[in-house]
Amino acid sequence: MRDLENRARIIENTVLKRVSSLGLYIDRLKPIPIPIPTDVKEFSLLPHVGDLEGSNTFLFVLTDASKLDDELYLDIKRDLLEFDIQSQVIYYRTNVGDRYVACNLMLGLLGKTGNYPYFLKDSSNKVFVGIDLSRKARSSNKGIVHAVGTAIIVDTSDGGTITYKNINVPAGGEAVEKAYVKSLANMLYKYKDKFIVIHRDGRMGVDELNAYVEVFSKQFGRENFALVSIIKSGTPRILQINSNIVGNPPKGCAILLSEREAVISTYEVKESFGTHIPLRIKVLYGDYPLNEAIEDVLRLTLLNFSSFTLNKLPATVAFADRIAWYNLHGIGPEDTDGNLFFL
């Protein structure tokens, strides 16, 4: 209990004071000791936090475990989101007094409560959509279960919004089906006056590409959207030579493979952290110059505020990846008011 109180006090003196300095009012911090048994398969937090429902509560779940089993972690998230309680699980090994950890916890608290710490200064008046697929084997070992994650970023002069959408249609193999594309197009129709850029995590098959072109051309017109494939792994490396020393490239370095495809470095790497792994992007469809596509990917890495250390991935595919993983496990709040529960 004393350790819990000490860690809670550190969070109050670091994370919550920083959040308060940004104008988000914090009423109180109340440690609630909840013993989590290690010898049971099912566990619920609801008997301990049921009275917090609808109270605009953010729950830091402090555990003395170094890592929680996936199912236990998911049960905690599922229970709390059912009561509209945003949360952050903090493991025992996490040094909550470290300033970088404190900053990351602050970002999580802000994003999960719909208070974005910052937005892009210069807007593009575009709508960016991140799409990713997640999959796992069925518990019966017969077949694969798929889920699609959809993140939507509206970039406007008044700051814009970031949200997620649940589109409950099946995904076949590594391609989304036409039913998903139709649902997405209907969902985006209110943005018909903006240019829509779809970032697809991974390669896009011919059938999927044709589905987007057919449906979106009919809904928005052929000139009002673009499809971009973003490949995270298996990409060629980028290196630079400085005074006969081979090293990692700076952020923003790009090698053009064609008029529609490039390999780009999206983050800085300290030499002690190994070799930079770039992204490979390809404009698959649309009147969307490659240099503009590169600039947009780099800009969107700034909105991936899951960490104060600038991330490799643009927020579109990074957020879609997390959303797909949660959807795969049956967690996807219906309320899409901008609370980024997946951070």
Q: Which residues are catalytic?
A: 132, 174, 201, 321
Contact call for residues 200 and 229 (beta carbons, < 8 A): yes
Whole-number Å distance between alpha carbons of 224 and 196: 6
Whole-number Å distance between alpha carbons of 330 and 324: 10
Whole-number Å distance between alpha carbons of 150 and 165: 6
Where do we find the tokens 């030579």?
A: 241
Q: What is the 3-state secondary structure (H, E, C) of the chain?
A: CHHHHHHHHHHHHHHHHHHHHCCCCCCCCCCCCCCCCCCCCCCCCHHHHHHHCCCCCEEEEECCCCCCCHHHHHHHHHHHHHCCCEEEEECCCCCCCCHHHHHHHHHHHHHHCCCCCCCCCCCCCEEEEEEEEEEEECCCCCCEEEEEEEEEEEECCCCCEEEEECCCCCEECCEECHHHHHHHHHHCHHHCCCEEEEEEECCCCHHHHHHHHHHHHHHHCCCCEEEEEEECCCCCCCCEEECCEEECCCCCCEEECCCCEEEECCCCCCHHHCCCCCEEEEEEECCCCHHHHHHHHHHHHCCCCCCCCCCCCCHHHHHHHHHHHHHHCCCCCCCCCCCCCCC
